[in-house]
Amino acid sequence: MGENTRNINEQGLYWGLKLTPLRRVTLSAYHDQFRFPWLKYRVDAPSKGYEYLLRLAYQPSRTVLLFAQFREESKEMNQSGGTLPIDFLAAARRRNWVLNADYGAGKVISLQTRVQGSSYRQSNGATHGYAILQDVNLNLGKLKASSRFALFDTDDYDNRQYAYEKDVLYAFSPCRPIPNGASGSTCSCSTS
């Protein structure tokens, strides 16, 4: 487990917590404190940072799940827009929030609605991004179909939005860049 793809050049402390204060309510949280003793991508000096997440989930029935989530990550990165020949580190803070509703409309149709947003701030000011997603899933026994409509806008690369996409078994669909303010839709079907 680590902040980067590989577990090298990192030291840190991670803790997580999951509480169920009421029968249908779950509170999940984690905190990760880390430091990098050597250089890495977009960081030209030793650096440090932290990340934490809070998630409150409510499941009033077997077919309905609602949750709200907030995540903040702060780490030192090369200062963007620098005019000097040497890159200096500056704290970069990214905040993400998600509001999600999963609900079944009978045994055949299930829906998922998600609104998510982010902000990114370094020394040169804040930028923002958001995504609104609507999924419709059909389960007709051996035939399953899912579709998604998405609307999103981001100010820059640092506010890119991520959302899991359902796909057919053994398929891999890499993320593809789409212009700002774009909308898109996907559809997939599978049989068993």
**Does 192 or 37 have the greater pLDDT score?**
37
**Residues 135-181 pLDDT 10s:** 999 999 888 888 889 898 988 888 888 887 776 666 656 555 555 66
Question: Is there a domain that residue 88 lies in?
Answer: yes
Question: Is there a domain that residue 15 lies in?
Answer: no
Question: Is there a domain that residue 41 lies in?
Answer: no
User: Mean pLDDT for the chain?
Assistant: 87
Question: Is there a domain that residue 176 lies in?
Answer: yes
For position 171, what pLDDT does the model report?
Answer: 65
For position 23, what pLDDT does the model report?
Answer: 95
Residue among 159, 154, 161 at smallest CA distance from 181 = 154
Question: Is there a domain that residue 2 lies in?
Answer: no
Which range of residues forms the domain containing residue 186? 59-191
Most confident of 23-27, 124-128, 184-188: 23-27
Contact 167, 188 (CB under 8 A): yes
Question: Is there a domain that residue 146 lies in?
Answer: yes
CA angle 36/29/35 to nearest 5° reads: 5
pTM of the predicted protein model: 0.84
DSSP label of 4:
S
How many C-beta neighbours within 10 Å does residue 23 have? 7
Question: Is there a domain that residue 91 lies in?
Answer: yes
Question: Is there a domain that residue 52 lies in?
Answer: no
State how many domains the chain has.
1
Question: For the residues 118-131, what does the mean pLDDT come to?
Answer: 90
